[in-house]
A and B are shown apart, each in its own frame.
Chain A
Amino acid sequence: AQSVAQPEDQVNVAEGNPLTVKCTYSVSGNPYLFWYVQYPNRGLQFLLKYITGDNLVKGSYGFEAEFNKSQTSFHLKKPSALVSDSALYFCAVRGTDKLIFGTGTRLQVFP
């Protein structure tokens, strides 16, 4: 069965430092992976997705994600964090007919 795991409930990082939000997945077949961000009292906003091709995927707001097939991971990264990046981040994998979401990781960027 397809699944995703976000091992960290919260990630804290200082503004200007690089950030990583972790995601691992389990699928049968080719993985189709997504990252969404949820700001307070807002809906989920699509950040980026991996379908095929380059392992480094670039998305919105300066975020990127690295697909690693051997480690079954799809970690979200940003070279320099902003306070405004503080939000809830969800990793998702495409199941047979559903998007399967992780439990979310709260990113807190401190000034």
Chain B
Amino acid sequence: DAGVIQSPRHEVTEMGQEVTLRCKPISGHNSLFWYRQTMMRGLELLIYFNNNVPIDDSGMPEDRFSAKMPNASFSTLKIQPSEPRDSAVYFCASSFFWDSRRPQETQYFGPGTRLLVL
């Protein structure tokens, strides 16, 4: 059965360009997460959605970053304009409903998008 699907797997762009990362969560999962991984900062949660609604976006670094989830099977993370310091691996993850009353839920990660901004 398909896991979390992300595209593209690799993206190389120039500073100032718009970048769009895409994610398809596991079918049936209600929650979707966007993470960023860098050597310096490790894994950082950027934003997460429950039932397509953004719940916590406190990790989004700045206004250049935006995320949407128009339906249960698709989400995008957009960076506009991109900067070299945005270079990182971006992961999408999904789970069943993520809530403090359900601490046993497990997040399942996609393969990631490796972004390089020149």
Contact = CB atoms under 8 A, between A and B. Distances in A.
A20 interface: no
Contact of B103 (A46, A90, A94, A104): A94
B104 A32 contact: yes
Q: Which range contains the number of B residues in contact with the other chain?
A: 20 to 34
Given A97-B55, A97-B98, A43 B4 contact: yes
A98 B45 contact: yes
A96 B100 contact: yes
Contacts of B45: 98-99
Given A32-B104, A97-B56, A97-B100, A103 B109 contact: no
Interface in A23-66: 30, 32, 34, 36, 41-46, 49, 51
B111 A32 contact: no
Interface string B74-118: 000000000000000001010000111001101111111010000
B70 interface: no
B61 interface: no
Nearest to A52: B104
B91 A44 contact: yes
Interface residues of A, number: 21
Nearest to B111: A43
Given A43-B110, A43-B112, A98 B56 contact: yes
A42 B45 CA distance: 18
A101 interface: yes
A43 B106 contact: no
A31 B94 CA distance: 21
B114 to A, nearest CB: 8
Nearest to A43: B109
Interface of A: 30, 32, 34, 36, 41-46, 49, 51, 90, 94, 96-99, 101, 103-104
Given A30-B103, A97-B100, 13 more contacts: A32-B104, A36-B109, A42-B111, A43-B110, A43-B111, A43-B112, A44-B93, A44-B109, A45-B109, A46-B109, A49-B104, A99-B107, A104-B42
